[in-house]
């Protein structure tokens, strides 16, 4: 990771970086226990390094997300990958340098741990950046209330339901399924929500599939998971654009088309607001523009 960051910086300084990158240095590499050094902040129009990434647990498909109840047909409650004291120490170090914290947390137990640590961070640095939770798969109402109170950003993935929904249905009990990736509740509570794909965890990178799935809540077999959590197309487009820009703290530059912002946009062959949401993936992308230039 440190070497890759230096490559990005070199390309940015030389003007050869072809896309915008918001790089998240991982403090504790996957499968490791030794923390890497936290780099210096870096920010330009093309490259931003001001957020560090932690992993509090695993995923629902592999039954490694840390949960308070056992998975179906299993004695497992998943795995917590962070210990509170060491997590807090590293997060404080990152925050002291001005970094935002983004933590992968899917199970309710992992979410609790992250909220406890974030609460301590804000006690030490009341004016620190608003931190992020990545995924938020099985959050309780009480946890969402705390998220709203702290002003945290949630970065979550509707496409998980499409590609991984079958695994959710075989791994989670009925109560957990009803509380699985509750996008509507997040938005109704006034939380800033960002949608993404989390590639390469999923195979399909098309945001239109994510928007469709946020509406249908259906997996590939056609089963709807918590259909009452359906989110409309307009709300989903906002989550993919402004919601993401706000979470990444670049909403002054991207996320919407306004005077003074970068002209980053796509042109479609049809309006996602005028077609049946079930047919969103039939829309084709005709061109992609970065800084007002077609790429």
Interstrand relation of 285-290 and 21-22 (parallel, antiparallel or unpaired): unpaired
Q: Distance between alpha carbon 67 and the CA centroid of its chain, in Å?
A: 19
pLDDT, mean of residues 68-87 = 96
pLDDT band at 35 (very low <50, low <70, confident <90, very high): confident
Asked if the model's pLDDT at residue 34 lies above 80, the reply is: no
pLDDT confidence bin for 2, thresholds 50/70/90: low
Strands (E), 47-186: 47-49, 51-55, 100-105, 132-135, 153-156
Which tens digit of pLDDT belongs to each residue from 106-152? 999 999 999 999 999 999 999 999 999 999 999 999 999 999 999 99
Q: Which distant-in-sequence residues (6+ apart) come within 8 Å of 225 by Cβ?
A: 161, 165, 168, 169, 177, 180, 181, 217, 218, 219
Q: Which run of H or E residues covers position 53?
A: strand 51-55
Dihedral (Cα; 134, 70, 146, 150), 10-degree rounding: -30
Radius of gyration of the chain (CA): 19
What is d(CA 149, CA 211) in angstroms, rounded to the nearest whole number? 27
Using a pLDDT cut of 90, give the percent of the chain over it.
Answer: 95
Q: What are phi and psi of 132, to 5 degrees?
A: -120, 150
pLDDT of the residue at 29: 73
Higher-scoring residue by pLDDT: 2, 35: 35
Helix (H, G, I), strand (E, B) or coil at 260: coil
Confidence label for 33 from pLDDT (cuts 50, 70 and 90): low
User: Is it the case that residue 31 has pLDDT exceeding 60?
Assistant: no
- 264's tokens: 């980053």
Sign of CA dihedral 234, 239, 243, 245: negative
Domains of the chain: 2-256 (3.20.20.140)
162-199 pLDDT, tens per residue?
999 999 999 999 999 999 999 999 999 999 999 999 99
């Amino acid at each position: 990771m440190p070497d890759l960051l230096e490559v990005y910086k070199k390309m940015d300084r030389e003007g050869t970086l072809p896309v915008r990158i918001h790089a998240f240095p991982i403090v504790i590499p996957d499968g490791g226990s030794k923390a890497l050094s936290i780099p210096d902040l870096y920010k330009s129009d093309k490259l931003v390094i001001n957020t560090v990434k932690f992993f509090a647990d695993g995923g629902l498909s592999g039954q490694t997300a840390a949960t308070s109840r056992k998975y179906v047909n299993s004695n497992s409650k998943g795995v917590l990958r962070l210990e509170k004291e060491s997590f807090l120490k590293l997060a404080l170090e990152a925050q002291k340098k001005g970094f935002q914290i983004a933590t992968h947390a899917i199970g309710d137990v992992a979410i609790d741990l992250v909220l406890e640590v974030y609460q301590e961070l804000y006690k030490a640095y009341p004016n620190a950046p608003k931190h992020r939770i990545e995924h938020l798969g099985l959050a309780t109402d009480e946890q969402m209330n705390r998220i709203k109170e702290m002003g945290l950003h949630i970065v979550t993935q509707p496409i998980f339901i499409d590609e991984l929904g079958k695994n959710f249905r075989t791994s989670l009990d009925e109560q957990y399924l009803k509380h699985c990736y509750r996008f509507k509740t997040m938005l109704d509570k006034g939380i800033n929500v960002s949608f993404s794909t989390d590639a390469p965890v999923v195979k399909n990178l098309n945001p239109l599939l994510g928007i469709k799935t946020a509406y249908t809540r259906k997996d590939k077999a056609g089963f709807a998971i918590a259909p009452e959590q359906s989110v409309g197309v307009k709300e989903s487009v906002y989550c993919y654009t402004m919601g993401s820009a706000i979470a990444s703290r670049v909403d002054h530059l991207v996320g919407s088309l306004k005077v003074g912002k970068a002209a980053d946009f796509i042109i479609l062959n049809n309006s996602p607001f005028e077609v049946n949401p079930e047919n969103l993936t039939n829309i084709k992308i005709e061109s992609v523009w970065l800084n007002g230039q077609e790429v």
